[in-house]
Amino acid sequence: MLATKENVAKLSIFAVSLLIVMKVVASILTGSIAIRADAAHSAIDLLGVVIGYIGIKISGKPPDERHAFGHGKAESIASTVIAGLIFIAAGAIFYQAVRRLIVGGTVEFVTVGIYVTAAAIVINAIISWYTLRVARSTDSIALEATSRDMLADVLSSCAVLVGLILVRLTGLNMLDPIVALLVAVLIARTAYLTMKKSFSGLMDTRLPETEENEIRSCITEHAGQLIGFHELRTRKAGDQRYIELHLVMSKNASVEEAHRMCDHLEQDIKSRLPRSSVTIHVEPCSEECDQCPIPTDRRKKRP
């Protein structure tokens, strides 16, 4: 699984590098500020992909003496850095676009720009779709951040393409920086969404309600063998889920019965939520409890 994430990250690095070369050449030939902004975005994409790759490599390391819970948060850290880079890209594009509106300029060889931008859209769309697919199957937040960054690049390239076509049809060069401003807004929105999800991992935000309901469902299926549960706590680091809960069992249950129940619940939860670490604290029901599901004649009384 780790190898798959690493291979996709390497593929993304190659694809983004190719796109940068294409866009830089096109921006030099055409003088288009929108294409130049798009190339700058791709350059920051490349840095983000490299950081994401490093995060994936670190998160895949097994637990050690100093990191008993593993290195999963490295992906969240990488994702946060990528989001920051996307914000920087949006700011740089916004500045260049405003400057072009004030100073002015012309766009040449528009047809070349249209063809290069269209090719970049196709390449980027395929790679970003594949990266997002692998990110979801491996539950990799760093790879998802990379995919979102590349998807933002697809959207910005689409805007650039529309702008170049409009310049070609109308001859209004001012449309080029206006489109670049729109690109900056789209990129900033992507940065916000990426940053929001990254912070969730760093702040130990609980698992989604749907996943916690799966945990509750696993426990309630054994209602005839246990009293109940409480203190359910969940969090996530990288693709690893951490689940803790207090399980209330009959005060007459043996250690063996409690151990068997915990093992069974752990396997049930892990089958529904892969890559989960489950910690269960068993406690007996109170002396006043009248809800013990195990019949009196089956309870093993201590001597």
- Which ranges of 60-72 does DSSP label H, i.e. alpha helix? none
Give strand pairing partners of 132: none
Last residue of a domain, one of 169, 202, 235: 202
Q: CA 148, CA 187: separation in Å to the nearest integer?
A: 10
Provide the residue range defining the domain that includes 181: 2-202
- What mean pLDDT is predicted for residues 3-22? 81
- The pLDDT score that the predictor gives to residue 297 is 42
Q: Within a domain: residue 67?
A: yes
Please tell me whether residues 225 and 178 are part of one structural domain.
no
User: How confident is the model over 209-235, as pLDDT tens digits?
Assistant: 888 898 888 888 876 667 788 888 888
The pTM of the full predicted model, rounded to 2 decimals, is 0.57
Please tell me whether residues 127 and 269 are part of one structural domain.
no
Q: CA 278, CA 233: separation in Å to the nearest integer?
A: 10
Structurally, how many domains does the chain consist of? 2
Query: Domain holding 230: CATH number?
Result: 3.30.70.1350
Confidence of residue 303 (pLDDT cuts 50, 70, 90): very low
Q: Which two tokens stand for residue 183?
A: 């690109």
Last residue of a domain, one of 182, 202, 222: 202
**Structural contact between residues 170 and 207, judged by C-beta atoms closer than 8 angstroms:** no
- What mean pLDDT is predicted for residues 24-50? 78
Tokens 């920087």 belong to which residue?
88
Confidence of residue 17 (pLDDT cuts 50, 70, 90): confident
User: How confident is the model over 236-273, as pLDDT tens digits?
Assistant: 776 778 899 998 888 778 888 888 888 888 888 888 88
Last residue of a domain, one of 202, 221, 248: 202
User: How confident is the model over 75-134, as pLDDT tens digits?
Assistant: 777 778 878 877 887 787 788 778 777 776 666 667 787 888 888 889 888 888 888 888
Answer yes or no: is pLDDT of 292 > 60.
Answer: no
Q: CA 191, CA 182: separation in Å to the nearest integer?
A: 14
Please tell me whether residues 93 and 221 are part of one structural domain.
no
Please tell me whether residues 260 and 155 are part of one structural domain.
no
First to last CA, the chain: 51
Please tell me whether residues 134 and 168 are part of one structural domain.
yes
Phi, psi of 12 (to 5 degrees): -65, -40
Q: CA 216, CA 214: separation in Å to the nearest integer?
A: 5
In degrees, to the nearest 5, what angle opens at C-alpha 32 toward C-alphas 29 and 36?
95
- 247: nearest Cα among 211, 209, 301, 285: 285
CA distances from 185 to 128, 213, 283 (A): 20, 37, 54
Please tell me whether residues 110 and 233 are part of one structural domain.
no
**Structural contact between residues 167 and 175, judged by C-beta atoms closer than 8 angstroms:** yes
Answer yes or no: is pLDDT of 170 > 60.
Answer: yes
Please tell me whether residues 94 and 215 are part of one structural domain.
no
- What mean pLDDT is predicted for residues 136-164? 78
Please state the separation of Cα 52 from the chain's center in Å. Answer: 10
